[in-house]
Amino acid sequence: DENDLTAKRKYFFIVDEKPKSFWVQPRRRLRFDSKMALEAEVFDEPYANENARRIAILRQVLTNVRKDIDEVGPQDKNLITCGMLISQTLETILVKLDSSAELASRLSSPKGLDFDHITLGAGIIWTSVVGETVNVRIRVN
């Protein structure tokens, strides 16, 4: 925030796409870590159950990530590309959760929620909420 010098959202992400060679298959990886303070409205909203709340929080994370990348993205094509992959990954996870909302309970478990990314392969997501701060970790190997 410009006025109180605190970060409301922090991101760390790496996308590694090594080209395919004759003997070695390409190794595609994505790592995304996010820590963000969400608006109180997201938490104050009445939800049908805890799983619906978890899905709504993840949707808000996706909205914030897209907004932040759109603000700084035009100057950096790599950032735009990584942002598209992260957005695609979060959308893939949300599609899985929409098909079976009870899977949302796995988001906060130590094993996380597994998913299949359309181009990068198998991945896992973990989320945790402490107060109004949401932590999201995604690993695709």
What is the per-residue pLDDT across 3-14, written as a single tens digit (0 to 9) for each?
554 667 777 777
Q: Is the pLDDT of residue 1 over 60?
A: no
Beta-carbon contacts of 104 under 8 Å, excluding residues fewer than 6 positions away, are 50, 51, 52, 54, 55, 58, 97, 113
Q: How far apart are CA 60 and CA 75, in angstroms?
A: 24
Of residues 75, 103, 73, 95, the one with CA closest to residue 13:
73
Residue 59 pLDDT = 96
Q: What digits encode the pLDDT tens for the residues 44-58?
A: 899 999 999 999 999
Q: Is the pLDDT of residue 106 over 90?
A: yes
Q: What digits encode the pLDDT tens for the residues 19-38?
A: 555 566 656 688 999 999 99
